[in-house]
Amino acid sequence: MILTGNTILITGGNSGIGRAMAEALHARSNQVIITGRNEATLRETTDANPGMTAYVVDMTDAALIATFAAQVTREHPSLNAVFLNAGIMKDIDVARDGLDQPSEEETVVTNLLGPMRLTAALLPHLRRAQGATIVTVSSGLAFVPVARAPAYCATKAAIHSWSQSLRHALKPEGIQVIEWVPPQVATELQPGQSHYASAMPLDDFIAESVALLDAHPDADEILVDRVRMLRDAEAEGRFDATFAKVNG
């Protein structure tokens, strides 16, 4: 992916790593379109970044996703890249409370079905686009899960697998599929996470991610150094030790 001159859609672009990446790409002479569920934070983001466009989209609403895909490709025919970033993470104590089925299902629909549905709806357009790129967003926890967020980790592991299959299937058509694999980053993905001493500073994460994309435009994965402890644990024969550390 070449980081200038694109029209880029970023779901969940009104907060966290989505907003930070949207602003970084907006500054690189790309037309950036963001979505989110919160109209106020979408407006705040576009007000802070003149020229950026926003749409209110709930990634759990299949019908709305289909309608939005038709609208955004009609209003932005140059659209050639999408970051499937929108996601939620919720802690549960299975031993104490059991599985919270509504919460777990909301996580699955938002984090997994939402990206699948939006990609399916956009694919006919992307097949005609120059330099078409799909960026999925998994997590280091796709590779070493944390037991307090079982649905989140499972959806991110599924996104990793889906990205591999999608990349193989779309490569002959010239559509690039990149998996962006964040570590724990200082955002409010979970309440208070932006203040965790263990979290990677957001600005550092975005700067390193952009530098990696610049240096490796044909990359399959974007892996900042901080996430390699998790991403490479199984391959390096230290999965059990890393799992114990993450869940200590």
Q: State the pLDDT at residue 246.
A: 96
Q: Could you give the strand order of the β-sheet that contains 31-36, starting from the edge strand earlier in sequence?
A: 53-56, 31-36, 7-11, 81-84, 133-137, 176-180, 221-222
Q: State the pLDDT at residue 51.
A: 97
Model confidence band, residue 92 (pLDDT cutoffs 50, 70, 90): confident
Average pLDDT, the chain: 96
Q: Using the predicted structure, report yes or no on whether residue 101 has a pLDDT greater than 80.
A: no
Q: Using the predicted structure, report yes or no on whether residue 93 has a pLDDT greater than 90.
A: no
Model confidence band, residue 95 (pLDDT cutoffs 50, 70, 90): confident
pTM for the whole structure: 0.96
Model confidence band, residue 10 (pLDDT cutoffs 50, 70, 90): very high
Q: Using the predicted structure, report yes or no on whether residue 218 has a pLDDT greater than 90.
A: yes
Model confidence band, residue 94 (pLDDT cutoffs 50, 70, 90): confident
The percentage of the chain sitting over the pLDDT mark of 90, rounded to a whole number, equals 94
Q: Using the predicted structure, report yes or no on whether residue 84 has a pLDDT greater than 80.
A: yes
Q: Using the predicted structure, report yes or no on whether residue 100 has a pLDDT greater than 90.
A: no
Q: State the pLDDT at residue 224.
A: 98
Tell me the per-residue pLDDT of 153-200, one tens digit each, with 9 for 90 and over. 999 999 999 999 999 999 999 999 999 999 999 999 999 999 999 999
Burial annotation 15-34 (CB, 10 A radius, 16+ → b, else e): bbbbbbbbbbbbebebbbbb
Three-state SS annotation for 78-133: CCCEEEECCCCCCCCCHHHHCCCHHHHHHHHHHHHHHHHHHHHHHHHHHCCCCCCE
Query: Position of tokens 């591999």?
Result: 164
Annotated catalytic residue, options 68, 83, 152, 180 = 152
Please give the single-letter amino acid code of residue 137.
V
Lowest mean pLDDT of 94-103, 107-116, 214-223, name the range.
Answer: 94-103
CA distance 180 to 172: 21
CA distance 171 to 89: 31
With a CB cutoff of 8 Å and minimum separation 6, the contacts of 70 are 121
152 is catalytic: yes
